[in-house]
Amino acid sequence: MISQHHGPALERIRQEADAATARRLLASGAKALLFAGLMWAAAAAGEIPVPGTPVPITMQTFVLMLAGLTLSWREAASAVATYLAAGAAGLPVFAGGASTLALVGPSAGFLIGFLPAVVITALVRGRARTDSVRGRLLTALRYFGAIVLGVIVVLYPFGAFVQSVLTGVPFGAVMAASLGFLVGDLPKAVIVSAVCAGFSVSKR
């Protein structure tokens, strides 16, 4: 039986635990909103056309990779879901200033595919080891593999399949054209993996 003497102490502990939980939730929400805003900014920064596909190269996959390596999978999912919800609500957050219609157009599969891509990247990245050069190198390699799995192996076929269904173009042709994104995504993956593992790209 808990004595009256311990009652106030237990209540104080509960209040501190509730406050800590509230702070964690607030911090997670702030991170999600920040990365949703970065996705928007990356789309607005410009785009590079890719021959054979109406889907352009943007810096959004860079932000997606960064979210997958620095946020928990829940935070990363919340960030992408917030971004997609903003577009669905009519805000011009997608490439070219598009909004709702982009979610039923050729880019729909890639946009929606951001969600499983970032979740998978966050789930498989593993724990960082930055206590030594060898640890950072192994972490960078693991991070790179996580990005390749989530942002390339999962996202590309998902986006190409939806585009094929919506446009009537054979999946193989869409997928072949989508491989053009590798020109931008592989260098991004190397840079993000190295930086998040503790390496500076400016070091000589």
Domains defined along the chain, listed by start: 30-196 (1.10.1760.20)
Q: What is the per-residue pLDDT across 149-162, written as a single tens digit (0 to 9) for each? A: 999 999 999 999 99
- On whether the CB atoms of residues 147 and 182 are closer than 8 A, the answer is no
pTM for the structure as a whole: 0.84
- On whether the CB atoms of residues 175 and 158 are closer than 8 A, the answer is no
Count Cβ neighbours within 10 Å for each residue of 47-56 and write b for 16 or more, e otherwise: beebeebebb
- On whether the CB atoms of residues 78 and 118 are closer than 8 A, the answer is no
Q: Which residues are CB-contacts of 130 (< 8 A; sequence separation ≥ 6)? A: 136, 139, 197, 198
Q: What is the per-residue pLDDT across 99-110, written as a single tens digit (0 to 9) for each? A: 899 999 999 999
Which tokens is 193 given? 């993996």
Start-to-end CA span in the chain (Å): 65
Q: What is the per-residue pLDDT across 5-16, written as a single tens digit (0 to 9) for each? A: 566 767 677 666
Q: What is the per-residue pLDDT across 193-203, written as a single tens digit (0 to 9) for each? A: 999 998 744 43
pLDDT at 63: 96
